[in-house]
Structures are given as C-alpha cells and as structure tokens.
Structure 1
C-alpha cells in the first residue's frame, strides 16, 4: 500500500529567546566525536484520531490547532535546547549555536493511520513520514528536523530526525519530554538540560572524522520487527529462572534472539549446519554508572559498547548459556569499569573492541530504548498509540529494542543478512515466543 505524504508546508522554527553570545560555541565530548558523520536517530510518534477528538471535545478538524501548538512549544523548547537549532558539527570539534532554526514540515497522507500501523511492511513505510531518510548521504545537513503528518482519519504522526553527533536516544528522549511538557502548559515540571557536563568526563581531542560509509554493510540486509508480548516474556523468563535469577527484560530477549540468529547463520553458511562461535555486544548507558551519577538530562553520547567473551558452541549449548553471556556483557559495565575509561581511557577500550571484532567471529549488537519512556510524550491529546523507528539500518546483526505501549512487552527491530533472515523467521523456539509484524 503506497501512502506517501504530500508536503503542504515547510518553515523554520527558531528559539523564542535568542541564544546568549557565551553559549554560541558548544564543544563536543570525545564520545560525540567518535560517532560517524551523517547518522541520525529516527523516531516516529503516532497519535490516534480517537484520542485527539476526545482531547478537543469533538470530531472536527483540529490539525491547524495541533500544528500551531507544536510549533509554539518547539520554539520555547529550543531556548533551552539551543544547540539543536544551530549549524551541524564543524571540524568534528563543536556546534555553532547560531539559532539557524529547526525545519518543520507539514504533510498530508491520503490513508488512515490504522492502515499504516497494520501494514506488514510498516518498517519500510516509516521513513516516508520522517523529515528525511536518516541513512541517505544526500539528506540535508541539520541537527534536528520535524515532520507533522496528518492522516485522512484525523490521526497524526510526528516524525523526528535527530543528529546522533549531538546525543544518544536518552538525549532525544529528554528533549521530547521537555517539548511535550511545554505543549501541555507544564513547563514548570521541566528539568533543564546539562549541555556541557559530558565534556568534563570525556574532553574532546583533535581526531579525524569517522566516515559513515566505512560502517555500512556491503551485503544485502533486511530489517523486520518481532513482538514479544508481556505474557510471552514472562514465559521465557520463567523458563530461564531455574538456572539464572532476576534476568532483565533486555537480557531475556537478547538470549533468544542471539541464539536464533546464530542458528540461522549456521544453516546458511555450513552444509553441516554446525554452530559457530560468536559474541554479543550491548550498548550501555553510563549516566548512572559515573561517580557521582549524571542526571538523565545530561546531553551527549554517554554510552559504551560492552562486548562479551567468545561463546564457543561445542556440544550441548542451551538458551541459558546465551542468557548468562548476555548478562555478563550488560553488567560488566559497572561503576569500577566506567571509572577506568573516563578521559582517554575510552580510546583503549575502543581499540581493544575493534581488534576483538576483527577476529572473524560474528558479533550481534543490541541497543535498547526501553528506558526512554517514549510512550510518555503527551503533547495535549494523549499518549502515542505507537512509537517506532525506521528499517533498513546499514549494519547487519543489529537489534534495537523498543517497549510496547502497555509497558510489559518488547518490540525487537532486527537486521540480518537477507539469507539469514529467512532461516531466522523459521526458528521454532523464536516462533513460540514472538509474532512477526514486518
């Protein structure tokens, strides 16, 4: 089903109060500098027409009111989040905070929002409702762009493209929370962002830019979305609880996806269908692991990648083995570990990780936005019906975990090689605990 939006307006939103001169140049942290250029965090927040009509007390068209409220509150938010409306990163050292503004696009879609959300090719359609394709080299340079999509039923979707150089998913989540509070007239509940704090722990260095093209997978890859309901997660956790206590949701899901993906790879790469050794890599937020802990509103890319030891698949290897290794990877990033990587120490960790990844052993990388509270973004017409991202990520063996709206389940956006995905979807154990939606 083709349901591309028709752009009806494009304007620039600037901060309601000009940025002070002493804030015009924001230095990147070393962790920011290490991110490749031309990577954007894509997010789509969908709101049903039922919730919108209830909020406005009627069934008439409220799009113009919604649009104006979003633009006004965005302008107010940019006063505090001033780097997001400046020029993109210059020389991989700093951001020019010159109030250039944020592009705000309005689009009309000749389809119902429910038709889009129920479409089996959802992950391919999401990018049509974003300001631009986050993995397109020809995308315009920007720190932040927003697209407001109006569907024929009266539902809306807010597409956001956020420059990863400025921060991680937690950074984007804090901005969206502040924006939604301002839209609801509850700006007094906002917590002011800390823009410079990460630089104190990871001072910038003169290092070369990392080219996005260098990290793109050359194989044909595909992304699909798999759903773990709260009930199925409980069943899976119960299965593992006899050998491992208090597994987190992320650790539980990681174990099954990792095992199923490796089984698929074994079938596609070996006539004997022998399991190979592999590793798991988790992206871990370190704000709470710094001493003293950093508040969530600290801007920047405050995460590290934790790589597990090699899991040799010899003899009988069960799901609990994968769960145990996943736990070690996640929990190895503790306060002692973080204290060792402050400053230049992170460079040694990265060099070691690159060497370990180049051993020829497949690495499955997991990142989670479950703690991002993305379903709490109520701009005045209720919480989102669905929040998602875009498929077609440029790296294979990558998994991103989202919460479900009820807070009990998990959506897993999984990118594998095309041939591996065919076998992955057939895995009986995976089928037992999930449903595929893409």
Structure 2
C-alpha cells in the first residue's frame, strides 16, 4: 500500500510578540553542545476522525478551522519557546533568536488513517507525514517544522520535527503541552519553561559538535521494526525477574529482554568474529536526580549516557543476568554521580564513555521518552490515538522505547542489521512477551 501525500500549502509562522533584544543571542548549555549537528526529534501525533467529528460536529470545513487554530496558538507558543523560531546554531555556541519563524505545511493524504495505525512501518510512509526527512543531510537546517496531514477518512496527523540542540524529549513534550493548552484557550495554565537554568548548572565550553553523517553505519543495511509490549506482558516479565532483580522497572525489564534477544541474533549471524561479551548503554535523564531536582520544564538536553561493564558470555548466562546489568547501568546515575558532573567532572565522565570499541563486544543503546507525556497533546479534539516516529533510523543496535496510549505498555523501535533482525524477530523468548498486534 502507498499513501500519496499532496502538499497543499506552505507558510511561515512567526511569534505573536517579537523576542526582546536581550534574549536574541541564546546560549547553549554544555549538554546542548554535545548533541550531534542536524539531529532532530521527529514526532507524529495521530487523531482519528470520530474524535474530530465529536469536537466539531458535521462542519464540512473543520480542517480549515483546525489549521487556523493550530497556527494562531503556535504563534503564541513561540513567544515563550523563542529559540525554536530562530535560525541555525552559530559555531555550536548559540542560536540567533531573530523570529525567522517556523515552517507550517498542510497536506492531503490519499489514504485512511486507520491503514497507517494498523502498520505504521508500511513503506516507511511515516516519513512522508513529517515536514522533512530527519536523516536526509541535504535538507535545510531548521529549528522547528510542522506538517498538518488530512487523511481521506477525515482523520489528521500532526508531524513535528524539533532540533535536538534546543531540547530533549522532555522539552519537546512540554512544548507540545503548552501549544495544546493555548489552542484550547487555557494559556493561563501553561508553565513557562526555564530557558537558562541548564546553562547555569552546565555552562558551555569550547566544544565542536560531531555530525550525524560521520557516525551512521554505512557498511551494513539497517532495518527498524516496532515491537509492542502490553502492560500485562510487562508485568509478567517483571514478575519473572523480581526474584533476581528487586524493584526492577518496566523499562529495565524490557531493555534486558530486547538486549538478550538482539545479542543472541548477532551471535547466530556472526561468522568470522566471535562475540565474547556485550555492553548496554542507557540514556538517563538527570533532572529528577539532581539535588535539588530540576523541574521538568527546564529547557535543554539534560541526560547522560550510562555504559555498563562488559557482560561476559561465559557459562549459563540468563535473562536475569541481563536484567541485573541493565539495572546497575541505569541506577549508577544517582545524585552522587550527577553532583560530580559539575565543573570538570563532566569531562571525566565523557572520557569514560570514549573507551575504544572492543572487538567482539557489541553495545546496545536504549533511549526512552516515558516521561514526555506526548499522549496528553489535546488541541481541542481529544488526545492522540497513537504517537509514533519515523520508521527509518540510521544507528545500529539502537532501541527507542515509547509509551503506549494507556501508559502501561511500551513500544520498542529496534534498529539492527538486516541479517540480525531476521533472527531477532523470531526469538521465542521475545515473542512470549510481544503483543500479537505488534
């Protein structure tokens, strides 16, 4: 199946109030500086026709009403998230907040939204519902772009691409929350973001950022597939592991399961190189781990990579071993660790992550957005029925964990080599917990 996307209009939305002169040169924090150039957070919010019909009745021109409401509220939101409507990053130091605005595209999709929701990876079509391909390096550098898609059935999907330099998944979630509150006429409930707080704790340094183009895997053909775990299945998995790893979180449990299955797939397909060990890397947010904790509305990239020691593949290595190693990696990022990141301690932490890649020791990297609350993005016609991302990701052995709509389950977007994926998706232990509709 192919979904033909017809671009109807393209315009620029500027903030309703000009950015004051003293805010125009926006300094990046050190964590912002570490983010790769041209790295974007692509989000797709899907809203079915029946919810829109309930909100607007039989109005035939509801799409134009939705479009205008989104544009007006976006303009107002950009006054408090002003870096998003600026121009590109200058020498990895600052953003010029000159109110250039953000691109707003409208399109018609000659397909039904239900077809996409049944299988969002069909033909990598999700990419067509975003304003641009986040992994096409020939695309213009922007800080924010939006595409409003109208489907033949009457449903809509809002595709949004955020420059990762400006903020992480939590920042994106609070931007969407502010935008949706303003769209519903509840602007007084918006919690104004703390734009400079992260810069105070982690001031910038002389640091050149790397380009995503330089680190993507070029030799192997990669495949990304989605695997869904219901809340019930995650509870069963946690119960199974509870005896060996007390108080294991759902994220830790599902990470251990995926890590083990992916490693077993790599072992099965390995020909010349023997795999003797493996490591897991978790991206861990530090806002709640600071003393005192930073509020979620703190703008910026406030997370670190936690790399585990090697899990040696000797003797009887079971799922509980993967779970325990995952737990240690995640929980090593505690208040004491975060306190050591201040000053030059952060440089030492970065050096530890730069350990040379060991032959026969693959690393699996997990990131998640469980606290981002994307499913609360109600612009006046209900919450999204599904939140997804682009179906093609260029980093090998990378796993993105997204919450399900009920917040109890998880979606895992797993990127492996094509040969590894064949083995991975038929792993019996994995399939025991994957939902049938995955």
Q: TM-score range by the shorter chain?
A: over 0.9
Unaligned runs of 5+ in 2: none
Query: Contact between 2:275 and 2:360, CA under 8 Å: does it hold in 1?
Result: no
- Between the aligned partners of 1:61 and 1:238, the Cα distance in structure 2 is 51
Give the CA deviation at 1:61. Answer: 3.8
Query: Contact between 1:168 and 1:300, CA under 8 Å: does it hold in 2?
Result: yes
Structure 1 residues 436 and 344 mapped into 2: Cα distance closer, same or farther (>3 Å)? farther
Aligned to 2:242: 241
Aligned to 1:422: 422
Structure 1 residues 76 and 366 mapped into 2: Cα distance closer, same or farther (>3 Å)? same
Aligned to 2:161: 161
SS at match of 1:5: strand
Matches within 5 A, 1:17-416: 17-58=17-58, 60-119=60-119, 121-122=121-122, 124-218=124-218, 219-270=220-271, 276-355=276-355, 357-358=357-358, 361-416=361-416
- Give CA deviations for 1:78-97 in whole Å, capped at 9, x if unaligned: 00001100001011100000
Matches within 5 A, 1:425-436: 425-435=425-435
The aligned length equals 437
RMSD over equivalenced CA pairs, Å: 1.6
Structure 1 residues 389 and 120 mapped into 2: Cα distance closer, same or farther (>3 Å)? closer
- Give CA deviations for 1:417-437 in whole Å, capped at 9, x if unaligned: 111000001100111110476
Give the stretch that moved more between structures: 8-17 or 275-284. Answer: 275-284
Give the CA deviation at 1:193. Answer: 0.6
Structure 1 residues 276 and 358 mapped into 2: Cα distance closer, same or farther (>3 Å)? closer
- Between the aligned partners of 2:153 and 2:224, the Cα distance in structure 1 is 28
Give the CA deviation at 1:57. Answer: 2.6
Structure 1 residues 57 and 141 mapped into 2: Cα distance closer, same or farther (>3 Å)? same
Give the CA deviation at 1:188. Answer: 1.0
- Between the aligned partners of 1:436 and 1:401, the Cα distance in structure 2 is 18
- Between the aligned partners of 1:155 and 1:335, the Cα distance in structure 2 is 45
Give the CA deviation at 1:276. Answer: 3.0
- Give CA deviations for 1:334-366 in whole Å, capped at 9, x if unaligned: 010001012332222112111154565211000
SS at match of 1:192: coil
- Give CA deviations for 1:127-162 in whole Å, capped at 9, x if unaligned: 100000001101111100000000011100000010
Give the CA deviation at 1:391. Answer: 2.1
